[in-house]
Amino acid sequence: MLLAPGGTVSILQSPPRLGERISRILREECAAAPPLPGKLALAEEEFFNGASDADSKARWSWDANDLEKSFGKAGFTVTMTTLDQQEDRLITAKDLSLWFDKEKSAWGAFVASALGDKDFEEIRQLLENRVKEGPIRWKWRSLLLKGTRNEPSS
């Protein structure tokens, strides 16, 4: 046993489904004209929350409930706190290249398929123009889990 009964473990996690959305950046940081940010928001919602296969769910769609269930099955009583976070983040050309790679980026492939090449390239261009101005306000939510190992039942 790695943790004695009554012992605690704390974990800070940032699930992808609680992460920053490029659609928010388009709307708030790039002043992109409608309907592009809304179309992207719908695609991102489907990408991060609509995972239909187990591999995609495990990678992109897990959340506080999944963590709580996993720790509960392992014999922990869990308390969970959601933290709103933000920072000024310098986005590089390499970041954009990785995100918008339709062959290697799951997000890029999904969004390009959902929106089409014209909108996909317009989003990329808007972001490329914005990052030249300096850091972007990056917002996301994290989960602070505190698990207490349950006493064995006698």
The predicted pLDDT at position 154 comes to 63
d(CA 43, CA 153): 47
Rounded to 5 degrees, φ, ψ at 33 are: -75, 145
Can you give the pLDDT of all 154 residues of the chain as single tens digits? 578 889 999 999 999 999 999 999 999 999 899 999 999 999 999 998 875 566 666 678 888 999 999 999 999 999 999 999 999 999 999 999 999 999 999 999 999 999 999 999 999 999 999 999 999 999 999 999 999 999 887 6
Query: pTM score, two decimals?
Result: 0.85
The pLDDT of residue 128: 97
Domain ranges of the chain: 8-149
SS3 state at 77? strand
Q: Could you tell me if 14 and 140 are in contact, meaning their C-beta atoms sit under 8 angstroms apart?
A: yes
pLDDT of residue 61: 81
How far is it, in rounded angstroms, from Cα 15 to Cα 81? 13
**pLDDT recorded at residue 52:** 58
Structure tokens at 145: 């889990």
